[in-house]
Amino acid sequence: MTLRTGRELLMTPGPTMIADSVLAAMHRPAIDVYAPGLAAITQSCIADLKPLFGTMSGEVYLYAANGHGAWEAALTNTLCRGDRILVLTSGLFAAGWGEMAATLGLQVDILPGSWRHAIDPEALAARLHADRDQAIRAILLVQVDTASGVLNDVAAIRRAIDAAGHPALLMVDVIASLGAHDVRMDEWGIDVAVAASQKALGMTPGLGIVAAGPRARTADADLRTFYWDWRFRDGPEHYKRWCGTAPEHLLFGLRQALDLIVAEGFDAVRRRHHLLAEAARCAITVWAQGGVLEFNVANPAERTDSVTVVLMPEGMSAPLLTFCRDICGVTLGGNIGACTNRGFRIGHMGQIDAPALLGTLAVIETGLRALGIPHGQGGTGTAVAALAKALR
């Protein structure tokens, strides 16, 4: 017996669901790589990405790559072999960026954080004060850690750096926040922000996006390689802007994905993310009363609107994930890293709407009942009530 038909509901925290209009925009023949219209599309995408990054002074670079590619572009354009950097962890992804940095020949210090809490700006301040000769050249963190569900306070991190009078570059992975949360690159003094197409932007995987501020663009760097070197991409020539043939279809899709965001309005997009994330959190708060499910992130203020990470005892989530996918057609994210096999993730970023989110909650609740997993009663109803109140 199955209750699924047709297209699966992909509720993972990347890749995310892709609008039909985005898919349709990509379904066309290739065009001449020198066609003038192509350069105009690149330019317009960059122009529409800048306000999402919150930058007027920064430059945006697009790479045929994923988030890992954007990480490498950020590091190699700004740093020299042997430079010391400080990685602030709050889950999985900043640590992964740090591992990449180590293989590039950088000296990587870790400021250990917690899987369940945002980065503590005071711990950072203390670490920077201890760096008396100011050897640390860059500070790396993620705004939203997709593995832990933590939302870091980048403004508070910037204040800690300023209070310590430290000149390090601030590099922020906004891969899971760009398009879902406020990113204020100029205001928060972010020197490099990295993003990718397949998360809250609602595009297919395939594009790495880097925004670089003035300090990053003039930084002393000897790790540059031909493909990632953003100076090469600065000129007027479109072929060079992509370091070769533009990934035309990704560009057609990105243009349409950005059109959707522009048409909805970025404030409305963020509010939609927040309301739907709140609805998910309402349901989980109720289910948690059964004593089996719990939020990974303890403090509600540190929970992201992009993804909600739910913990369960070892082994209990696998049957639930299978039930949701195979019986009901909803694919949730499994937990990864320190939480592997212990719970699940609801991705709620990008092209996510009320029926997708409410349907997902109802399916999870159906699974909890069908599998006899203890849970507080009425979580989905509570989410409905919260949305109704917010929309009244």
Ligand X SMILES: *Cc1c(COP(=O)(O)O)cnc(C)c1O
Residue among 208 and 376 whose Cβ is closer to ligand X: 208
Contact characters 36-75, ligand X, x per CB under 6 A:
------------------------------xxx-------
Interactions with ligand X, residue window 163-182 (CB under 6 A)? 173, 175-176
Strand order across the beta sheet in which 344-347 lies: 9-11, 330-334, 344-347, 307-311, 294-295
Residue among 93 and 242 whose Cβ is closer to ligand X: 93
Those residues whose C-beta lies under 8 Å from the C-beta of residue 194, and which sit 6 or more positions away, are: 67, 70, 71, 73, 74, 171, 172, 173, 174, 175, 208, 209, 210, 211
Least distance between ligand X and beta carbon 2 (Å): 30
Write the CA distances from 351 to 33, 43, 128, 165, integer angstroms. 30, 24, 40, 41
Interactions with ligand X, residue window 80-119 (CB under 6 A)? 93
Query: Shortest Cβ contact with ligand X: which residue?
Result: 67
Write the CA distances from 195 to 71, 166, 177, 342, integer angstroms. 9, 25, 8, 28
What sign does the CA torsion over 40, 27, 17, 360 have?
positive
In the set 14, 98, 121, 376, which binds ligand X (CB under 6 A)? 14
Least distance between ligand X and beta carbon 39 (Å): 25
Residue among 73 and 142 whose Cβ is closer to ligand X: 142
β partners of residue 87: 110, 140
Least distance between ligand X and beta carbon 93 (Å): 4
**How crowded is the C-beta side of 228, counted as CA atoms within 13 Å?**
24
- Backbone dihedral angles phi then psi of residue 247, each to the nearest 5 degrees: -75, 80
β partners of residue 310: 295, 344
Contact criterion met (CB below 8 Å) for 161 and 140: no
How many angstroms separate the CA atoms of 336 and 349, rounded?
A: 18
Least distance between ligand X and beta carbon 313 (Å): 25
Residue among 204 and 256 whose Cβ is closer to ligand X: 204
In the set 171, 196, 257, 311, which binds ligand X (CB under 6 A)? 196
Number of residues near ligand X (by CB under 6 A): 14
Residue among 207 and 324 whose Cβ is closer to ligand X: 207
Q: Which helix (H) or strand (E) holds 38?
A: helix 36-53
Cα 250 → chain centroid: 19
Residue among 67 and 121 whose Cβ is closer to ligand X: 67
Contact characters 125-164, ligand X, x per CB under 6 A:
-----------------x-xxx------------------
Least distance between ligand X and beta carbon 65 (Å): 8
Binding site for ligand X (CB under 6 A): 14, 66-68, 93, 142, 144-146, 173, 175-176, 196, 199
